[in-house]
Amino acid sequence: MWRQHWDWREGRRERVFEKGDFKYVILDLLQEQPGHGYQLIRRIEERFGGRYAPSPGVLYPTLQMLEDMGCVTATQDEGRKVYAITDEGRRLLAERGERVEGIRDRAHRWRGRHGEDFYQAFRDFARFLSGYGSAWDVDAEKARRIGDVIARARREIEAILAERSSTEPAAAAGPRPADNSPRPGRRPDMI
């Protein structure tokens, strides 16, 4: 359920969630406002700046566990279960205040690292690609042109990443990206 984030400038991996943290994220969100599953997924994604969104297969079992623990209640509203925190859930959050604050700090670091516009561009492009997929009506010429655009974008991004800021030491520039040039008979790699 947890994902790791590699920060090469700091030379370490940081987990989004330690074991058992996810339930506190849900309770913290429900403390702000009740919601149904899809709303909670979107709110978590927003909290993490688009860099993490739980799957329904992670969210719903955790909600069920919290309901079994007496930390949340579920009511039906227009055919959807709407979850709300209970006094027991608030008590659990209060008991684990330091841990919850640590999760908030990690979420803030993840969210604020590059700015919302940066991650929104990735989300928009991913949604664009997933919305078309195999349904694209692309002839050989369009496929070649799309491949050229993707390859050009990749080269431009690599050039930007290779730039050093005036305050950045040479060693912090990080590893050079691997050459993923298309090979004969293969399509260009996606970004």
- The position carrying tokens 């090979």 is 183
What is the phi-psi region of residue 47: left when phi exceeds 0, alpha when psi lies from -120 to 50, beta otherwise?
Answer: alpha
pLDDT band at 56 (very low <50, low <70, confident <90, very high): very high
* pLDDT tens-digit readout, 18-43: 788 899 999 999 999 999 999 999 99
- The position carrying tokens 């640590």 is 102
- The position carrying tokens 């992670």 is 58
- Quote the pLDDT of residue 150: 87
pLDDT above 70 (res 5)? no
Q: Name the token pair of 80.
A: 């959807």
Distance (Å) of CA 16 to CA 68, 77, 107, 170:
25, 32, 7, 29
DSSP for 144-176 reads: HHHHHHHHHHHHHHHHHHH---TTS-GGGG-PP
**Domain-by-domain residue ranges, the chain?**
4-112, 137-173
- The position carrying tokens 């078309």 is 132
For 4-112, CATH gives 1.10.10.10
pLDDT band at 49 (very low <50, low <70, confident <90, very high): confident
Written in H, E and C, the secondary structure of 22-42 is HHHHHHHHHHHCCEEHHHHHH
For residue 138, how many other CB atoms are within 10 A of its CB? 12
- Quote the pLDDT of residue 121: 75
- Quote the pLDDT of residue 173: 46
| CB of 52 closer than 8 Å to CB of 45 | yes
| CB of 97 closer than 8 Å to CB of 91 | no
pLDDT band at 1 (very low <50, low <70, confident <90, very high): very low
**142 vs 116, which has greater pLDDT?**
142
Give the range among 10-19, 61-70, 102-111, 146-155 with minimum mean pLDDT.
10-19
Q: Name the token pair of 157.
A: 């991004």
pLDDT above 80 (res 15)? no
